[in-house]
Amino acid sequence: MTLRLDARIPPGSLAEKWNRHRFEMKLVNPANKRRHTIIVVGSGLAGGAAAATMSELGYNVKCFCFQDSPRRAHSIAAQGGINAAKNYQNDGDSIYRLFYDTIKGGDFRSREGNVYRLAELSVNIIDQCVAQGVPFAREYGGLLSNRSFGGAQVSRTFYARGQTGQQLLLGAYQALECQIARGGVTMYPRTEMLDLVVIDGKARGIVVRNLVTGAIESHAADAVVLATGGYSNLFFLSTNAQGCNATAIWRAYKRGAAFANPCFTQIHPTCIPVSGEHQSKLTLMSESLRNDGRVWVSKKPGDKRDPRQIPENERDYFLERKYPSFGNLAPRDIASRAVKEVCDEGRGVGESGLGVYLDFADAIKRLGIDVIRERYGNLFEMYQRITDENPYEVPMRIYPAVHYTMGGLWVDYNLMSNIEGLHVTGEANFSDHGANRLGASALMQGLADGYFIIPNTIGDYLASSKPQKVDTTHAAFKAAEDEVEERTKRFLSIKGKRTVASFHRELGQILWHNCGMSRNEAGLRTALRKIPELREEFWRNVNVPGSDVELNQALEKAGRVADFFELGELMCLDALHRTESCGGHFREESQTPDGEALRDDENFAYVAAWQFAGEGKIPVLNKEPLVFENVKLSQRSYK
Amino acid sequence: MNLTLHVWRQAGPKAPGKMVVYQATDISPDMSFLEMLDVVNERLTERGEVPIAFDHDCREGICGMCSLMINGVAHGPMKGTATCQLHMRSFKDGDTVYIEPWRARAFPVIKDLTVDRSALDRIIQAGGFITAPTGGAQDANTILVPKESVESAMDAAACIGCGACVAACPNASASLFTAAKVTHLGLLPQGQPERYRRALEMVDQMDLENFGSCTLHGECQEACPKEISMDTITRMNRDFIRGRLIGTRA
Ligand SMILES: Cc1cc2nc3c(=O)[nH]c(=O)nc-3n(C[C@H](O)[C@H](O)[C@H](O)COP(=O)(O)OP(=O)(O)OC[C@H]3O[C@@H](n4cnc5c(N)ncnc54)[C@H](O)[C@@H]3O)c2cc1C
Ligand code: SF4
Ligand code: FES
């Protein structure tokens, strides 16, 4: 029962595709739009922008988020910036260059058609955001300012201090609130989607839990859009917010939506290291620090000396040693792996031994403390607030952390999954970043999906599928509600001995060690054995206090962790089957003689789309071949 | 380190609440304040008690979800720092710490330390936006914005909507929150067409939501984790009065 996965990429040259597609898509008569209800789950960049824009077009929109306000979606935390091929700097940028950089950065595991459209729309995003009042950085003459980012050779990143995500999200949030006031959007904050309802093969609604009262409720619609973000929290420790979860996409998977490339996760090299068992999250330190900081550890394992007492010749500047031409600026995946390696050798620093130095002493000597303060002052301050160490005097300690998930629900060019009417946008889908995402391109994708793509493609779906009227009295809603209810009760009735967090932490450890920065067959098999064991214990021995008719944060967490167990297993299965290395997925068995990732284009130039086959059954692997008509596949090298 | 916590427990919006004492033992000074509460909650759960409910999400001072009055101070003792970024090294071994929810008429308690701040969203609904439907924008560089304007706009736009200003204010006014948005948008050329109407509508909504009025105590500015300046309130008042004078409302 394999699926027919048709990406529905429009014909024609890259530059023609989207334009032509927009013309060929069917339109919904303006007077009929308000008769269509669309559910948007998520209020981040991808969801907030979509909900506001579809309401502007006249649709009746219902938008959901689990936080107390749509403004708090995790998009708010993005720091660095957003890419756009404006070529305002006249430095040779173009839509084609942004397209090419993104395809190559993704290690040739994404679709040309989707990525080209993303690059095309990037310019409209900046225009839209400026019109809304997003305070992007400016030059003295009043024009927009840019910076370089993520290894690109052109300067195309727009930013609002270190709070780009916040300002972009507030722009979308304000547009959304404007539509809520107009009555076009009904907002459901503190509400969590717990199931998808599929009727006659079409997505027709969702079942949610009101997180304040505990009430289980159904909502029906003509189409459903999931914009629920990424699943990095699978690993327990990540740079994501505490509430980030995979429940919405996982429930959809179990209702038949294919899950694509779950093993493609991104690990960011420069985060503040773990300080102890109690740690609940990891904080990202901007990658820009590696422009001036030098990464090193002692040559001796277990060296507990004050770093300032370790003489030069007893230090190992391992990135400079291993990658002489890129040095400390080696790309994210490469740098992360190198850090892990020296820590595994027992040469890591800090109390836990999981960290390396990022040292500014030389830069301060060379440039003076004022220049360093001007460049990185706010980051140094944040670092000091968290660690209580002064990075002007003592080297910073950094360690890689899980940051982003390229995998997600499979979607076609219209951002529709293989379930008709179920659309997926933003980090929750898999479409544009292949096996590795470039910096400043997730914000771009979320907004392209939300402002410009889904509002168009959803009209085509509604106009061509003409959904029949369905309401929440339909038996399918009742059945889904019962299942949700039953599951909720089950968590509360176990009354075991371990907290949800203790299971989550243990799952995170299994995944981090076996399906993290580097992966091998033995480790993945170990994980695939341990996860089901732990999951079995979870369902027998978890302790979820309180009741289901009130605000119950332990219950919320239990549901999310239960889904993490299952997705974690799928992630390992995917990682096991993909015996090549590509992007963030490094299989130790597949490396070049000098230890670099070795792709296997002959056997793995495809999207792995997994399909649920029933509880306890091995999911079915479907392959969407990736066709490259415009770019030539090449091996990345950073020596 | 060991601490004695006095925590506000309230089972639901209508239930009576009271302070309950807990011992927080073996706390590392490197923990954040919320991680300390995580530890307390883990232990409560293991003892079969109901953990303390509190709001939080990003834990890096940007989402505005965390709150907490700590020893009577909104977001605790460290200036310019949200509760989630406060670390236990700001406390001493043996300290007694009082932890309460935001208290304001417009922020009813949901449970324990969580409150309903949806009134802030409704203030934004009233006018905290620039009307710019998707698709109609001109090229971004055709709008020139002086660097100074955009820097000041950004200072105000940094508001995370946490509501600490309300909790700290003796009148429970939401003036700093509202003024931050009025200032952010009012300083930009794009925000001019709706500038006075925006101030009028947002201030009126603030009154409707049962927030108190501003008597310039300045507690808001002290408590604000993003150090938003009270100058924004002066600016909002000016725009509000101007709006009244020119009768900008349709
Ligand atoms: C620390 C950090 C820094 C980053 N910096 C950058 C950067 O500089 N540039 C860049 O391009 N990218 C960056 N990224 C990545 C980027 O921020 C995210 O990929 C992007 O914002 C995701 O947007 P989204 O709309 O898909 O999801 P989110 O913003 O995560 O929104 C998810 C929404 O779904 C809701 N939701 C989730 N599950 C449910 C459910 N079951 N029921 C109801 N609602 C639900 C949530 O409430 C929320 O509203 C960064 C990421 C992190 C973590
Ligand atoms: S003005 Fe300051 S205190 Fe008030 S909501 Fe904004 S960030 Fe919080
Ligand atoms: S938890 Fe996000 S600001 Fe504190």
Q: Which residue ranges make up each domain of chain B?
A: 3-111, 118-245
Which of the listed residues A401, A417, A444 is the one where a domain comes to its end? A401
pLDDT at B103: 96
- Using a CB–CB cutoff of 8 Å, tell me whether A283 touches chain B: yes
Classify domain B3-111 at the CATH topology level. Ubiquitin-like (UB roll) (3.10.20)
Query: Which among A76, A280, A452 is the nearest to B38, CB-wise?
Result: A280
> Helix, strand or coil for residue A155?
coil
Ligand that lies nearest to the alpha carbon of residue B37, given by its number in the listed order: 3
Alpha-carbon distance B115 to nearest alpha carbon in chain A (angstroms): 9
Does the structure show a pLDDT above 60 at B181? yes
pLDDT in tens, A75-87: 999 988 999 999 9
Beta bridge partners of A298: A315
Closest CA to A205 of A459, A480, A457: A480
For residue A590, give the CATH number of its domain.
1.20.58.100
- How do strand A60-64 and strand A37-41 relate by DSSP bridges? parallel
pLDDT at A143: 98
- Say how many CB pairs under 8 Å bridge A and B: 211
On whether both A282 and A369 belong to a single domain, the answer is yes
Answer whether residue A104 is part of any domain.
Answer: no
Say if ligand 2 is within 6 A of residue B188 CB: no
Closest CA to A460 of A492, A433, A420, A497: A420
> Are the beta carbons of A423 and A223 closer than 8 angstroms?
yes
pLDDT at B107: 98
Q: What is the mean pLDDT of residues A209-220?
A: 98
pLDDT at B106: 97
Token pair in block for residue A391: 């990075």
The span from the CA of A584 to the CA of A576, in Å, is 14
* Average pLDDT across chain B, whole number: 96
Does the structure show a pLDDT above 90 at A153? no
Does the structure show a pLDDT above 60 at B241? yes
User: How many angstroms separate the alpha carbon of residue A282 from the centre of ligand 3?
Assistant: 13
Asked if the Cβ–Cβ distance from A138 to B53 is below 8 Å, we say no
Contacts of A268 (CB under 8 A, 6+ apart): A239, A284, A287, A332, A336, A400, A401, A402, A403, A404
pLDDT in tens, A414-431: 999 999 999 999 999 999
The span from the CA of A505 to the CA of A561, in Å, is 10
pLDDT at B250: 44
On whether both A577 and A492 belong to a single domain, the answer is yes
The span from the CA of A44 to the CA of A425, in Å, is 10
Answer whether residue A349 is part of any domain.
Answer: yes
On whether both A480 and A390 belong to a single domain, the answer is no
On whether both A273 and A397 belong to a single domain, the answer is yes
Name the residue with higher pLDDT: A288 or A493: A493
Q: What is the mean pLDDT of residues A91-109?
A: 95
Cα→Cα distances A499→A280, A327, A473, B183, Å: 14, 44, 37, 46
Q: What is the mean pLDDT of residues B5-17?
A: 97
pLDDT in tens, A314-366: 999 999 999 887 788 777 888 898 998 899 999 999 988 999 999 999 999 99
Name the residue with higher pLDDT: A161 or B20: B20
Say if ligand 1 is within 6 A of residue A436 CB: no
Give the structural domain span for A282: 268-401
pLDDT at A637: 67
Answer whether residue A449 is part of any domain.
Answer: no
> Helix, strand or coil for residue A96?
helix
* Average pLDDT across chain A, whole number: 95
Alpha-carbon distance A456 to nearest alpha carbon in chain B (angstroms): 12
User: How many angstroms separate the alpha carbon of residue B162 from the centre of ligand 3?
Assistant: 8
Which of the listed residues A373, A401, A429 is the one where a domain comes to its end? A401
Which of the listed residues A368, A401, A434 is the one where a domain comes to its end? A401
Say if ligand 1 is within 6 A of residue A79 CB: yes
Contacts of B133 (CB under 8 A, 6+ apart): A53, A56, A175
pLDDT at A635: 82
User: How many angstroms separate the alpha carbon of residue B181 from the centre of ligand 2?
Assistant: 10
> Are the beta carbons of A576 and A528 closer than 8 angstroms?
yes
**DSSP designation for B194:** T
> Helix, strand or coil for residue A30?
helix
pLDDT at A77: 95
Say if ligand 2 is within 6 A of residue B230 CB: no
- How do strand A202-210 and strand A216-220 relate by DSSP bridges? antiparallel
Q: Which residue of A has its CA nearest to B36?
A: A278
Catalytic residue among A97, A117, A156, A332: A332
pTM of the model: 0.97
Q: What is the mean pLDDT of residues B206-221?
A: 96
Does the structure show a pLDDT above 80 at A71? yes
Among A82, A130, A384, the strongest candidate for a mutation testing the B interface, having the largest count of B CBs within 10 A, is: A130
Confidence of residue A288 (pLDDT cuts 50, 70, 90): confident
> Helix, strand or coil for residue A37?
strand
Q: For this structure, is A332 an active site residue?
A: yes
Q: Which residue of A has its CA nearest to B191?
A: A133
The span from the CA of B28 to the CA of A64, in Å, is 37
Does the structure show a pLDDT above 70 at A151? no
pLDDT at A638: 65
> Are the beta carbons of A608 and A261 closer than 8 angstroms?
yes
Which of A122, A218, A228 should be mutated for ligand 1, with most atoms under 8 A from CB? A228
Cα→Cα distances A231→A236, A265, A538, A576, A578, Å: 10, 9, 20, 19, 20
- A283 contacts on B by Cβ (under 8 Å): 60
Q: What is the mean pLDDT of residues A266-288?
A: 89
pLDDT in tens, B163-172: 999 999 999 9
Answer whether residue A217 is part of any domain.
Answer: no
Ligand that lies nearest to the alpha carbon of residue A446, given by its number in the listed order: 1
pLDDT in tens, B106-121: 999 999 999 999 999 9
Does the structure show a pLDDT above 90 at B42? yes
Answer whether residue A624 is part of any domain.
Answer: no
Q: Which numeric CATH code is attached to B118-245?
A: 1.10.1060.10
Say if ligand 3 is within 6 A of residue B86 CB: no
pLDDT at A291: 78
Q: Which residue of B has its CA nearest to A280?
A: B35
Q: What is the mean pLDDT of residues B136-155?
A: 96
Total structural domains in chain A? 2
| Element holding B238 (H helix, E strand) | helix B231-246
The span from the CA of A624 to the CA of A608, in Å, is 7
